[in-house]
Each structure stands twice: as C-alpha cells, then as structure tokens.
Amino acid sequence: MLPQPVKRLFTPGPLTTSPSVKEAMLVDVGSRDDEFIAVVRDIRRQLLALGGVSQAQGYEAILLQGSGTFGVEAVLSSAIPPQGKLLILINGAYGERMLAIANRHRLAADVLRWDENQITDPQAVRRRLDQDPTLAHVAIVHCETTTGLLNPVEEIGNLARAANRGFIVDAMSSFGAIPLSLTAASIDFLISSANKCIEGVPGFNFVLARKPALAACQGNARTLSLDLFEQWQGLEANGQFRFTPPTHALLAFAQALRELEAEGGVAGRAKRYQANHAALMAGMTALGFRCYLPPEHQSWIISAFHYPNDPAFQFEDFYRRLARHGMVIYPGKLGKVACFRIGNIGRLTARDIQELLEAVAAVLREMGVRTPVAPPR
C-alpha cells in the first residue's frame, strides 16, 4: 500500500498526535505482564492527579474499553439505583445523548434544556432540585462539543452537593486542558476519553469517581461489560481489565501523559490551546466568518462557525477541498443552525492554525465564495 498523505485534524477527536505517541504503539505487550500492569497502575494514579485528587483522598480511576460514550453509558447505567431518578442538563447533542442512554436503560430521567448557545442556569437547577426530592443525581456536559460552550460545572456541582444529590460530569472535551478539580466542583463521577485533550489515541475511556459513590454502584449495573463497579474491582484485585484491554492505546496514552507533564500540565496545555483559539478566531473573523457562540461562553477547545451567506458555499465541497489541502475539520451538530466546527486541540500550534486559515481562504476562492462571508446579524 502506498503511504497516505499526512492530514492535520482540526477536530474534537481523534486528534493529530505526536510522533512519539504513535511510536509508543510499536510494541506488543501481554495484558497480564507485570510491566503492562504497572503502566495501567501509573495511568490511574496520574489521571487522579490531573483531577486534583488521589486514592488517599478517597477517589478512584477506572479505565474501560471503548469510546467516551461507553464511559458515559457505564456511569449512567451503573450509578443510578433501580428506584433512582436522574436530572440531565441539556444544551447540546451530548446532553441529548445522555438522555438517549437513560431512555435505552429505562432509567427515570427528567431534563432541563437550554438553547445550544446558552449555558445552563444554576438557579433553574436549584429550583428543580427543590421542587423534586426524588431526583438523586444531576448530569451535565462540561464542554459541550456541539459548539465548544463551557458550562458552569463548579457552581452546579456545589448546588448538587448542598442538596445531597450525586453529580455526574461528562468532561470528554475539557479534561486535561481546562482546569477542573473534582473536589472544588463536588464531582462524584467524571468521564473522559484517551483521544481528547491528553492527546492519546482512541481505544478506551476513563472515569474518575469518589469512592463512596462508586461503592454505591454495586449491584446497579444493567450490563455486564459496562459494569463500573465490577471493572473497578477487577483493576483493584490484580491490576487487570476484566476483558481484553486496548494495550497499544494504553502504551500511547502513557507517553501522552509524559508529554502533557513536559508541557507544563493542564496549565501548559491550556496555554497552547488558548493561543490556537485566539489565532483561529482572529483569522476566521478576518475572513468574514461569524462564530456561533458569544465570546463569554466559548471555550478554547472547539468553535462552531455559521455557514457563509452565499449559495456558492456547500459544506461537503468545502470539507473535501480542505481535506485535499491536508486539513480535516468537522461538520456541525446543531439542530437548527447551519454551522461547521474547527477544533484547536491535539498536537497543533498557532502555525498549524495559520496554515489552516490560508487553506480556508484558498478554498473559498476556488469555490467562488465572496467575502465577507458571514450571514447578517
């Protein structure tokens, strides 16, 4: 097979990874080897440290096979007891996915919804918790990848804790690049994935959990392979996954964690992603594009942009032409507004963003899209 041209991924994951992360996968290891078990143990310890906690403080890290959605489903189908009721806070596609998971497992669930360009309102959450004492858990997406919107998880988590409710956070697109303390945000379960801001490769997800909340999961699971409590028990018993682990992805992740530490941890990675985001916003604005979110709600992870107000613009054509330039972006996921998305995460720098902007300008010329291209306000 001929070598394929290298493309840079301006997406929310999978991401462009470093050569050394890729190289770490060029080793075959046995899942029961002492060396591999030590790698898994180290990964669990380091993940807790990134969340500002440790086992000594009563927190655990559980690794599970599969994408981030597998982790969300593992938590929801394990943490909610048979008679429990879940409040899901929704302002994007990934909040809606939580509801779909709850419905599939026939979990009792209530929802509060906001428009996709509005953050969740803590006071509305407080009122709903006061009104309905049967609600046992609250679930939210930290950085809603639909738009890049950042929700106020710390404020909502503290409300949940004050009301004696469990708090579940999908931190898929934020963990590792947006500072987040499990204790400061009163988080019982945090879910993220290997192939996001830590810059590993797809293959597994992880859950950081407060130990009493995790222990309360025993006997609740609606599935065998996604039983969060049993997975934790297996890791604690002998350091091994209950079923075949993604060994190569875990080796890559161990290297990705070393690179995160070398970059200055979460603060260092945030600094690079913020620089990427600033360059992207300045450049796209100069080209006439308009961001979907107001600046005060926009994270530095991924941004959604309105389609140009020009019939010459067709997203699929735009996407394919950019891909031929070696740049891969993401389609939109909004329900009612035509947008596309550009991610700032992965092994990218402001120079990569500048080259993407040059490619966007070239593709607009190729397509005959006039500038300015932003739709009227």
In a shared domain, residues 128 and 59? yes
Query: 232-291 pLDDT, tens per residue?
Result: 999 999 999 999 999 999 999 999 999 999 999 999 999 999 999 999 999 999 999 999
- What are residue 64's DSSP bridge partners? 205
pLDDT at 373 over 70: no
Which CATH number goes with the domain that contains 334?
3.90.1150.10
pLDDT band at 377 (very low <50, low <70, confident <90, very high): very low
Whose tokens are 């397509």? That residue is 367
Question: Is 1 inside any structural domain?
Answer: no
User: What is the model's pLDDT at position 209?
Assistant: 98
Asked if residue 2 is part of any domain, the answer here is no
pLDDT of residue 2: 40
Q: What pLDDT score does 1 carry?
A: 43
Residues 167 and 45 in one domain: yes
Task: Say whether pLDDT at 57 is over 60.
Answer: yes
Residue 85 domain boundaries = 19-261
**Mean pLDDT, rounded, for 12-31:** 96
Q: For 281-325, how does the pLDDT look when each residue is reduced to its tens digit (9 = 90+)?
A: 999 999 999 999 999 999 999 999 999 989 999 999 999 999 999
CATH of the domain at 180: 3.40.640.10
Where does the pLDDT of residue 376 fall: very low under 50, low under 70, confident under 90, or very high at 90 and above?
very low
- 229 assigned to some structural domain: yes
Q: Are residues 269 and 245 in the same domain?
A: no
Q: Residues 176, 240: one domain? A: yes
* Residue that finishes a domain, picked among 261, 276, 299: 261
Q: How many distinct structural domains can be found in the chain?
A: 2
Average pLDDT, the chain: 95
End-of-domain residue from the set 261, 278, 312: 261
Q: Are residues 331 and 183 in the same domain?
A: no
**Distances in Å between the alpha carbon of 236 and those of 77, 99, 266?**
21, 31, 27
Section 8-35 average pLDDT: 95
Q: Is the pLDDT of residue 362 over 60?
A: yes
pLDDT at 370: 82
Both 244 and 274 in one domain: the answer is no
Q: Final residue of a domain: which of 227, 246, 261?
A: 261
Are 223 and 289 contained in the same domain?
Answer: no
Q: Is 372 part of a structural domain of the chain?
A: no
**pLDDT of the residue at 332:** 85
Decide the pairing of beta strands 204-210 and 59-65. antiparallel
Is residue 40 in some structural domain?
Answer: yes
- Radius of gyration of the chain measured on its C-alpha atoms: 21
Answer yes or no: do 205 and 65 share one domain.
yes
pTM above 0.75, yes or no: yes
Q: What pLDDT, on a 0 to 100 scale, did the predictor assign at position 371?
A: 64
Label residue 98 by pLDDT band (50, 70, 90).
Answer: very high
pLDDT at residue number 372: 59
The predicted structure's pLDDT at residue 136: 96
- Say whether both 99 and 198 belong to one domain: yes
Phi/psi of residue 138, nearest 5 degrees? -120, 135
User: Is residue 229 located within the same domain as residue 347?
Assistant: no
User: What is the percent of the chain where pLDDT is above 90?
Assistant: 94
Q: Does residue 374 fall inside a structural domain? A: no
> Residues 56, 203: one domain?
yes
